[in-house]
Amino acid sequence: MKIIVDAFGGDNAPVAVLQGASAAVREYGVDILLCGNRQKILDTAREHGIAMDNMDIAHAPEVFDIHEDPTKILKAGADTSLAEGFRRLVMDDGDAFVSAGSTGAMLVGATFIVKRIKGVKRPALGAVLPGETGPVMLIDTGANVECRPEMLAQFAAMGGIYMNKVLKIGSPRVGLLNVGAEDTKGDQLRLDAYKLLSESGLNFVGNVEARDALAGVCDVLAADGFSGNVLLKSTEGAVGMIMKNIKSALTKSMLTKAGALLIKSGLKEMKAKMDYTEYGGAPLLGVCKPVIKAHGSSNAKAIKNAIRQAADFTNTGVIKQIGDIIKNNY
Amino acid sequence: MKIIVDAFGGDNAPVAVLQGASAAVREYGVDILLCGNRQKILDTAREHGIAMDNMDIAHAPEVFDIHEDPTKILKAGADTSLAEGFRRLVMDDGDAFVSAGSTGAMLVGATFIVKRIKGVKRPALGAVLPGETGPVMLIDTGANVECRPEMLAQFAAMGGIYMNKVLKIGSPRVGLLNVGAEDTKGDQLRLDAYKLLSESGLNFVGNVEARDALAGVCDVLAADGFSGNVLLKSTEGAVGMIMKNIKSALTKSMLTKAGALLIKSGLKEMKAKMDYTEYGGAPLLGVCKPVIKAHGSSNAKAIKNAIRQAADFTNTGVIKQIGDIIKNNY
């Protein structure tokens, strides 16, 4: 198993990427193909004492700027580490591709270089989130800001296959993100998608409100990319704000600082439970090869987990099953 | 100043509503007109020792079920406390109306009984949320699940007037909820709304991502009712989940319980900072009279604050200014 990794994607690249990739080699026995500036990779590894065993380099001189127009990945940005990753994936120089770089450029690269699975209307970005009772996949989280009902039904089907194959959830419960639980709620898109999902053969549990997204009522939550993105980022924002407030509450006085020491183990456990890096990154579902978008702020552990996830994604036949299901049902 | 209050709206009615209304009489010197079953109101007040000074009753035998079709407020539900509230408001038996009942029925009642301000395309529900650096109004939060660009521009204008007049924020900063900060982001609705807002004369600060909604970058955040609802409820859901996890972390062992005692004051301060009840309920902007939708799970304090907010809403000339601005600009 060889995973292609964009060495220069994300806020903490290349150091965190190299550290994470090196840890993945040791822990999971995978081989790695790092894409990026060869000299910079070697210098970074030396400087930080990162073992390069089982890691090859595919040289690409440039880095794709996350503020750049995503479509530039195809021409002007062809000499970036991100573009090189997609090319290597298509050439079968590796089994899967992981990057923490530009989401938009990854979508363009996956759609136009790797290409869609036959019958898939749009690839979608499915984020695996730590829910109250286990992982929940929210799909789409931003790849498609304008959707048709049949796209939402496909997102649900693809997400269900991923959760079943990779996270071993039998008959994943599928929900539809909506403004109310009753089947009469929402706009025309939701009303039509509700009907399609009801008739889809999926284990459809109906509409799910945003406040219950992570409450354990569903394993897959289908959404258009706009509201899925809002859900993902507002949850992130709320968690960040509370954690900041907790920290300031705990360091308020000598007394609270003493208290903080006593509750340390409990807080650690809580943080671990809500750790978004635990399940890796966001799989891009609907394209012909496994592509994982790691979070832009990924640390070494998040990169390592995204690589493990890419290996699981490859091993479990998700893509073949998406092809079969879409061909026969959608 | 007399505030009309639906005595039977919300999960904790009528007890919490009566307690909150009674507290508002004492603390703010307002008069109250309670709508609902007279005998039940009097029994509840007696049973719970709630002072009824300066509180009148407008008898309405029934309660509007929150699961009921909202449009029923107009005919089949005309003998409910909620419908009675709207009728009394139109008859000038009070200056403003507060209910914690069905959001949908309140929208229908406000639109068809109270009626829109001339020129307003759609009334919108603006929630005032506790942000990092002060209150933030998110508008719309669910009244309009399908929107046109000019509606988003009106929501922003109405929200700005409210935040300026009621919460005394000079030149409120207006943001547009979007999936990215760059002006090229989002669907056609967002691109068109961005253009309208840029040319509106409002203090428009551009696109705001959901993770920054409460971070203090804007005072008003304009959204379609679908994604606004997702943002509101996912924030609520995330806060609830974390609070539950904190509680379980703090009660994990003797040690953590001891720690919890020491940090009590810090946590209390944090909870106060994030208390949604502090700013009252959600004003329904764009109709001819002040209407406040209190949260369905409102306790007595939330009802009291919603009544204070209704009084502020009435006193500050928000509705007249919305009429003037809309007439001249939109």
Does residue A265 register a pLDDT over 90?
no
pLDDT tens digits, one per residue of A313-326: 999 999 999 999 99
What 8-state DSSP symbol labels residue A116? B
For residue A94, what are its two tokens?
């590796």
Confidence of residue A275 (pLDDT cuts 50, 70, 90): confident
Identify which of B110, B106, B100, B187 has the alpha carbon closest to the alpha carbon of residue B146: B187
pLDDT tens digits, one per residue of A66-116: 989 999 999 999 999 999 999 999 999 999 999 999 999 999 999 999 999
* Out of B100-104, B115-119, B261-265, least confident range: B261-265
Which 212-271 residues of chain A touch chain B by CB within 8 A? 212-215, 225-227, 229-242, 245-246, 248-250, 252-253, 255-256, 258-263, 265-267, 269-270
ipTM for the complex shown: 0.91
Report how far Cα B314 is from the mean position of its chain's Cα atoms.
Answer: 15
pLDDT tens digits, one per residue of A171-191: 999 999 999 998 989 999 999
Give the contacts of A325 (CB within 8 A, at least 6 positions apart): A157, A161
pLDDT of residue A252: 81
Does residue B229 register a pLDDT over 80?
yes
**Cβ separation of B258 and A255 shorter than 8 Å?**
no
Helices (H), chain A: 15-28, 38-47, 81-90, 103-109, 149-165, 188-198, 225-250, 254-262, 264-273, 300-315, 318-329
Residue B59 has φ and ψ, to the nearest 5°, of -70, 130
Residue A284 has φ and ψ, to the nearest 5°, of -95, 105
- Contact residues on chain A for B211, CB-CB shorter than 8 A: 233-234, 236-237, 240
pLDDT of residue B244: 85
Size of interface A-B (CB pairs under 8 A): 181
Identify which of B199, B196, B223 has the alpha carbon closest to the alpha carbon of residue B209: B223
Identify which of B14, B28, B30, B233 has the alpha carbon closest to the alpha carbon of residue B125: B233
Element (H, E) at B234: helix B225-250
Contacts of range B163-168, beta carbons closer than 8 Å, 24 or more positions apart: B163/B135, B163/B137, B163/B219, B163/B220, B165/B316, B165/B317, B165/B318, B165/B321, B166/B283, B166/B309, B166/B312, B166/B313, B166/B316, B166/B318, B167/B128, B167/B135, B167/B279
Does residue A245 register a pLDDT over 90?
no
Q: How far is A288 from chain B (nearest CA, A)?
A: 26
Contacts of range B107-111, beta carbons closer than 8 Å, 24 or more positions apart: B107/B70, B107/B143, B107/B284, B108/B70, B108/B71, B108/B73, B108/B74, B109/B73, B109/B74, B109/B82, B109/B83, B109/B85, B110/B86, B110/B284, B110/B287, B110/B291, B111/B287
* Identity at B210, one-letter amino acid code: A
The larger pLDDT score, comparing residue A63 to residue A267, is at A63
Confidence of residue B85 (pLDDT cuts 50, 70, 90): very high
**Cβ separation of A237 and B213 shorter than 8 Å?**
yes
Q: How far is A275 from chain B (nearest CA, A)?
A: 12
* DSSP bridge pairs for A56: A33
pLDDT tens digits, one per residue of A28-40: 999 999 999 999 9
Does residue B280 register a pLDDT over 80?
no
pLDDT of residue A273: 75
Cβ-based neighbour number of residue A320 at 10 Å: 12
For residue B328, what are its two tokens?
């001249």
Does residue A278 register a pLDDT over 90?
no
The pLDDT of A16-35, averaged and rounded, is 98
pLDDT of residue B241: 86
Which residue out of B145, B226, B234 would a mutagenesis test of the A interface target, given it has the greatest number of A Cβ atoms within 10 Å?
B234
* Out of B45-54, B265-274, B320-329, least confident range: B265-274
Whether B43 has its CB under 8 Å from any CB of chain A: the answer is no
Are the C-beta atoms of residues B121 and B151 closer than 8 Å to each other? yes
Facing residue for B269 by CB, picked from A213, A249, A259: A249
Q: How does the average pLDDT of chain A come out, rounded?
A: 94
C-alpha distances (whole Å) from A238 to each of A29, A286, A319, B70, B238 are 37, 30, 34, 31, 6
| Residue in chain A nearest B67 by alpha carbon | A182
Whether B51 has its CB under 8 Å from any CB of chain A: the answer is no
Pairing of strands A282-285, A291-293: antiparallel
Which 103-162 residues of chain B touch chain A by CB within 8 A? 132, 142, 145-146
**Cβ separation of A259 and B255 shorter than 8 Å?**
no
CB-facing half-sphere around the CA of A278: CA atoms within 13 A: 15
Does residue B50 register a pLDDT over 80?
yes
Does residue A328 register a pLDDT over 90?
no
Cα separation, B209 vs B180, in Å, equals: 6
What 8-state DSSP symbol labels residue A296? T
CA triplet B309, B313, B314: central angle to 5 degrees? 120
Phi-psi region of B54 (alpha: psi -120 to 50; beta: other; left: phi over 0): left
Burial of B133 (0-12, 13-18, 19+ CB in 10 A): exposed
Whether A188 has its CB under 8 Å from any CB of chain B: the answer is yes
